[in-house]
Amino acid sequence: MSFIGERREGSVQEHFDFHRDPYRRGYAQPDGPSLQVSDKQQDVQYPSREQTFKISNELQAHILKLYAAIGQRLRHPNRIALETIYKLYRQLPEPRMLYLTWQWRSRLLKVMGTPPKRDMESMLRYFALVADVKNAGLTLRRTQWNFALAFATKYASRPTGQEMESALRLWREMEKKANVMGNDVTFNILFDVAAKAGNFALADMIYKEMESRGIEFNRYHHVSLIHYFGLRLDSGGVRAAYKETVDSGEMIDSTVLNCVISGLLRCGEEAAAEETYEQMKKSHNLATNMPQRDYMMNKVVTRVLMMFSKVGKQHPQLKESLQTNIRLAPDQHTYKLLIQHYAIRVGNLAKVAQYLDEMKRFNISVHPTIFLALFKGFYLHGGFPNSDWSEQRLTAVLTSLYQAKTVQEEAFRIEQWLVIWALRATKKCSSNEAVLETFGTLAQCWDIKGERQQFLHAIVENILQDKDNKSML
């Protein structure tokens, strides 16, 4: 608890009860409907090798090529693209899924369900596979349903009511039609999207449904709960949820503390957030040299932390020694949260410069989202005399952006919104000539293809003519 300070904030349940009462007067809550779902087991082991279609040698060779690609993706995710695997699969005759044994069908859905980034393209690929499974009269396992739920809720950067409705429809189909009961992962996805979409009543219902089913909270749920209270602007709830995480025996790492910082900043408690950050900085020299997290390493680290938590609960005397081996120091996401807050919401360039300097001191690479926050800061707070967010400083930031791309190459992707906000900031702080110059330079190094480039050319014209629709702040 030393990371967020000692303060009596009550329990998580007390904060939930407070928000459930619309008048905050302690009225009794109505006994709502109780959802009951069938627990019928599914036969997923079809077809076996003997039950697959009799095929030609040529088609058999193609299927073996697909199997090899899937296997390589499982062993070495960076060596083969998901699009390559999907193209091999699409070359099979229909019904495609019946040409694969159930083991390889599961592996195919696994690799397609865990892309580096859940975006529109990867979501459409996965749902096409799900449709093929259904059309072939086969069943989906719980894990595969959860992949679908994750795609439906996370393909967009900001979940809305539309994503929430999609998730609820999938959940209903999963439990009512397919008779596959949701598990802790299912409910964490549902709770997360409901909270992020701002439907706190639904999030509350999902939380109560988890309790009624006796689903045990794990690391994911505790972090989501901290985030939930942050979205509700309830700093006391953030602290209570963090305390419950500690008391439950879960391992605390930088991910949990980042969630606390995010919640406190959202609640306007900058001093408390910075206190947590300072405590994290003190841990830097003590932290083990864990690798920078990528999408694969993130899963490995999370599994290790959950294993540590399990061991710590079974053997409490080991918990303290296990905790000392966990990274608590600030990471890339910590600085992203702080810089976004002070650049966009507060407009304090001095604080932003401090965090950028400390990133450099801790040898933490700059992510494109850091530059995105900086450009939004220049757009919101620059463009007038004596502003700290001056044209000269914007030019320096753009130069740093180009250097980061040169050094990190493919690891540093300059995509659509980064370009748009760079142009908006340039327009606000400089001139149309500077906008065109910036656009030309970015066009030489961006990672944007096809129709998106045409879209950007239209956007730059709108920016030049002051007709730009300033969305996505």
> From CA 324, how far away is CA 387, in angstroms rounded?
44
Nearest CA to 434 out of 447, 424, 443, 448 is that of 424
Q: What is the pLDDT of residues 50-72, one digit of tens each?
A: 666 677 889 999 999 999 999 99
Half-sphere exposure of 202 (CA within 13 A, CB side): 18
pLDDT at 33: 42
Quick one: DSSP state of residue 217?
P
List the one residue out of 122, 195, 179, 100 whose CA is nearest residue 145.
Answer: 179
Positive or negative, the CA dihedral 232, 236, 238, 244 is negative
Residue 379, pLDDT > 60, answer yes
Band (389; pLDDT cuts 50, 70, 90) = very high
| Cα distances (Å, whole numbers) of residue 126 to 82, 101, 251, 286 | 10, 18, 33, 42
Q: How confident is the model at residue 1 (pLDDT cuts 50, 70, 90)?
A: low
Percent of the chain with pLDDT over 90: 45
Counting residues of the chain whose pLDDT is more than 70, the rounded percentage is 81
Gap between the Cα atoms of 208 and 154, Å rounded: 23
pLDDT at residue 381 is higher than 60: yes
**Phi, psi (5° rounding) for residue 202?**
-65, -40
Q: What is the mean pLDDT of residues 215-241?
A: 89
305 touches 35 (CB < 8 A): no
Per-residue pLDDT band at 38 (split at 50, 70, 90):
very low
Find the farthest-apart pair of alpha carbons in the chain and give their distance in angstroms, rounded: 77
471 has a pLDDT exceeding 60: no
pLDDT tops 90 at residue 92: yes
Residue pLDDT, tens place only, 102-117: 899 999 999 999 998 8
From 418, 409, 458, 466, select the one nearest 442 (Cα to Cα). 418
pLDDT over 50 (residue 354): yes
pLDDT number for residue 36: 37
The residue type at 173: E
- State the Cα–Cα distance between residues 85 and 168, nearest whole angstrom: 30
- Positive or negative torsion for Cα 159, 161, 166, 170: positive
Contact by Cβ (8 Å): 260, 238: yes
Q: How far apart are CA 392 and CA 353, in angstroms?
A: 15
Give counts: helices (H), strands (E), the chain.
22, 0
CB atoms within 10 A of CB 116: 13
24/459: higher pLDDT: 459
Nearest Cα residue to 227 out of 258, 249, 186, 184: 258
Round to the nearest angstrom and report the end-to-end CA distance of the chain: 34
Place of tokens 């390559």: 84
Q: How far apart are CA 322 and CA 311, in angstroms?
A: 9
In this structure, how many other beta carbons lie within 10 angstroms of the beta carbon of residue 202? Answer: 18
The pLDDT-based confidence of 40 (bands split at 50, 70, 90) is very low
Burial 66-91 (b: 16+ CB within 10 A, else e): bbebbeebeeebeebebeebbebbee
In the numeric block, which tokens belong to residue 436?
């065109």
Q: Which pair of tokens denotes residue 423?
A: 């142009």
pLDDT at residue 17, as a whole number:
72
Q: Tell me the residue type at 391.
A: E
Q: Which of 306, 284, 302 is nearest to 294 (CA)?
A: 302
What pLDDT was estimated at residue 419? 94
| Residue given tokens 């296990």 in the structure block | 322
Measure the CA–CA gap between 12 and 239, rounded to whole angstroms: 9
Q: What is the mean pLDDT of residues 239-249?
A: 88
Q: What is the DSSP string of 305-327?
A: HHHHHHHHHH-GGGHHHHHTTS-
For the whole model, what pTM was predicted? 0.73
Question: Which of the four pLDDT bands, split at 50, 70 and 90, describes residue 455?
Answer: confident
